[in-house]
């Protein structure tokens, strides 16, 4: 059985086959349908997203024996010749290798001859931006007043290099990168057709790795199929392509979250000894931290992450603040940019990893400023006396005004997450945030005990909302009768004062 490359086999033959270019497709289809054929089209966009395929489909639409039609038959001799690339009336020119004026002059002479056996003579010029300036000028003359049977389709990956004079005379279509999900669907279709089993995350990986190019996805897919033995899995891909396993990355980042530099360096050694290249490890680390940053920012969609969020270690997902993750990503990308010029790539990587082992201690300048403000607040409230320290929330929360807003948000979140916990939190006598300690006081021992058991969940919610890295401290306060009568006693004091100033006596006591 001869093997046909998937990218060739799956080359789109009709407008509806073109993946992920809905706008281009619908516009082209309706203009063919309405008979509004331009003399020059300019297809721009990244490589491997279907520009040349679209040009050929357009040529078929125009020249199909049953056309012009937006659904070429693909069986008449004209369609077949165009598909095979041997139609005399559809001329494909690679701008990269035909850049000179003479090449364009040839076209200029040729266009004077009517098509051989079709309605239109279609010139498809790929990588048109590669033409020289004088070639462009010669071309301009041709597309200004072409014979009615001539259609030019220019394709380019670098639209900004195409002179404005050319652009303005073309109907322009901008092709987009193909969405990961669309690519994955296409790959799924192929696995069905060739009878290969494939894990969901493995196809996702291929789709993501293709960065928007369906052609690249098919090429990578063929490579993966060749070593997968009938069942494509992420593990096989990682092993065969020398990538770092997700488990390894999780372990590495867990050691960073624990601040364990020894473990980080040992683990990286282990990964490199398994044959992973230094640059690959840096790239995989960058991708890993990018995903953790996304998760940390509340993005869990698998189509964006490329993996299910729960495949990433909880300790890592919850171990770092957003600014720490941004900082890590910045350091990794910086090394990625510079590592190729390094005398010793491995040393550079180890230096990076050692620095990342201290990631937990990293604060950005705004956070440092916040900490200074908090500390200053504490110093000020501390100098006013120690009466606030035995649990009554009112005074302490004045020092940290945002405390109450956090409290409300935490309660709100908890109510949705776990009712029992939110009910227990409601019983807190006070919430005081001092430095990195969130102190909750309880007189009700049932709620207190429940919160002690579930403290991790509470502080996680608080930290997510506040952006802090606070610890939770739960304090028990005595429920004594004094507490209940504190305010009336203050009132009594005032009454006593009035009594004293006016030298009077109390006739009748009445509370409002
Ligand atoms: Zn046809």
322: left (phi over 0), alpha (psi -120 to 50) or beta: alpha
In residues, how long is the chain? 512
Tell me phi and psi for residue 437, to 5 degrees: -115, 125
Max avg pLDDT among 109-118, 169-178, 485-494: 169-178
Residue identified by tokens 């092993």 is 239
pLDDT at 503: 62
Cα of 67 from ligand 1 centre, angstroms: 7
Residue 371 CB burial class (10 angstroms; 0-12, 13-18, ≥19):
middle
Give ion ligand 1 contacts, CB < 5 A. 64, 72-73, 76, 79
- CA 68 to ligand 1 center in whole angstroms: 9
Q: Is the pLDDT of residue 512 over 70?
A: no
Identify the helix (H) or strand (E) that includes residue 211: none
Pairing type for strands 121-126 and 171-174 reads unpaired
Please state which of the ranges 153-162, 301-310, 324-333, 467-476 shows the lowest mean pLDDT: 301-310
User: Over the stretch 195-247, which tens digit does the pLDDT of each residue have?
Assistant: 999 998 899 889 988 888 999 999 999 999 999 989 999 888 988 887 788 88
Task: For residue 152, report the distance from its CA to the centre of ligand 1, in Å.
Answer: 20
Round to whole Å and give the CA distance between 177 and 46.
7
Average pLDDT over residues 302-311: 79
Domains and CATH numbers, the chain: 6-174 (3.40.50.300), 180-240 (1.10.8.60), 246-361 (1.20.272.10), 395-483 (3.30.300.180)
User: How far does the centroid of ligand 1 lie from the alpha carbon of residue 35, in Å?
Assistant: 17
Tell me, in angstroms, the distance from the centre of ligand 1 to residue 71's CA: 9
Residue 211, CA atoms < 13 Å, CB-side half-sphere: 2
Q: How far is the CA of 69 from the centre of ligand 1 (A)?
A: 9
Q: How many helices (H) and strands (E) are present in the chain, helices listed first?
A: 26, 10
β-pairing verdict for 437-442 and 471-476: parallel
Q: Which of 321, 319, 315 is nearest to 363 (CA)?
A: 321
Q: Look over the chain and give the mean of its residue pLDDT values, rounded to a whole number.
A: 84
Element (H, E) at 411: helix 402-417
Structure tokens belonging to residue 12: 């789109």
Residue 384 has pLDDT above 60, yes or no: no
């Amino acid at each position: 059985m001869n093997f046909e490359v998937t990218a060739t086999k799956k080359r789109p033959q009709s407008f509806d086959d073109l993946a992920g270019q809905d706008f281009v497709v619908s516009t082209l289809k309706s203009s063919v349908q309405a008979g509004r054929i331009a003399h020059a089209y300019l297809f721009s966009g990244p490589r491997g997203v279907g520009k040349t395929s679209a040009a050929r489909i357009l040529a078929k639409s125009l020249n199909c024996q049953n056309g012009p039609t937006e659904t070429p038959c693909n069986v008449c001799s004209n369609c077949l010749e165009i598909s095979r690339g041997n139609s005399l009336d559809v001329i494909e020119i690679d701008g990269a290798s035909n850049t000179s004026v003479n090449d364009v002059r040839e076209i200029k002479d040729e266009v004077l001859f009517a098509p051989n056996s079709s309605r239109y003579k279609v010139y498809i010029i790929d990588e048109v931006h590669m033409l020289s300036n004088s070639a462009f000028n010669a071309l301009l003359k041709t597309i200004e007043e072409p014979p009615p049977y001539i259609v030019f389709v220019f394709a380019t990956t670098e639209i900004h290099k195409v002179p404005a004079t050319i652009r303005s005379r073309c109907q322009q279509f901008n092709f987009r990168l193909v969405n990961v999900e669309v690519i994955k669907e296409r790959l799924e279709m192929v696995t069905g057709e060739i009878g290969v089993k494939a894990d969901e995350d493995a196809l996702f990986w291929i789709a993501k790795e293709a960065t928007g190019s369906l052609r690249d996805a098919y090429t990578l897919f063929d490579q993966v199929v060749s070593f997968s033995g009938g069942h494509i899995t992420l593990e096989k891909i990682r092993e065969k392509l020398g990538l770092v396993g997700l488990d390894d990355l999780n372990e590495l980042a867990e050691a960073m979250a624990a601040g364990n530099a020894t473990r980080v360096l040992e683990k990286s050694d282990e990964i490199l000894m398994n044959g992973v290249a230094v640059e690959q490890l840096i790239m995989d680390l960058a991708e890993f931290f990018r995903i953790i940053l996304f998760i940390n920012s509340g993005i869990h969609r698998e189509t964006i992450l490329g993996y299910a969020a729960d495949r990433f270690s909880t300790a890592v997902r919850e171990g770092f603040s957003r600014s720490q993750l941004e900082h890590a990503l910045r350091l990794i990308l910086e090394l990625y940019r510079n590592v190729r010029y390094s005398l010793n790539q491995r040393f550079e990587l180890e230096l990076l990893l050692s620095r990342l082992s201290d990631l937990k201690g990293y604060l950005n300048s705004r956070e440092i400023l916040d900490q200074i403000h908090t500390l200053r607040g504490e110093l000020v409230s501390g100098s006013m006396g120690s009466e606030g320290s035995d649990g009554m929330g009112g005074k302490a929360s004045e020092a940290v005004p945002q405390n109450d807003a956090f409290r409300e948000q935490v309660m709100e979140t908890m109510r949705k997450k776990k009712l029992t916990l939110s009910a227990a939190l409601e019983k807190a006598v006070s919430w005081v945030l001092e430095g990195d300690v969130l102190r909750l006081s309880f007189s009700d021992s049932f709620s207190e005990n429940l919160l002690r058991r579930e403290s991790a969940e509470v502080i996680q919610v608080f930290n997510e909302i506040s952006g802090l890295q606070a610890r939770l401290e739960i304090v028990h306060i005595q429920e004594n009768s004094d507490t209940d009568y504190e305010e009336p006693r203050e009132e009594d004091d005032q009454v006593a004062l009035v009594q004293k100033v006016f030298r009077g006596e109390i006739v009748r006591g009445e509370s409002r």
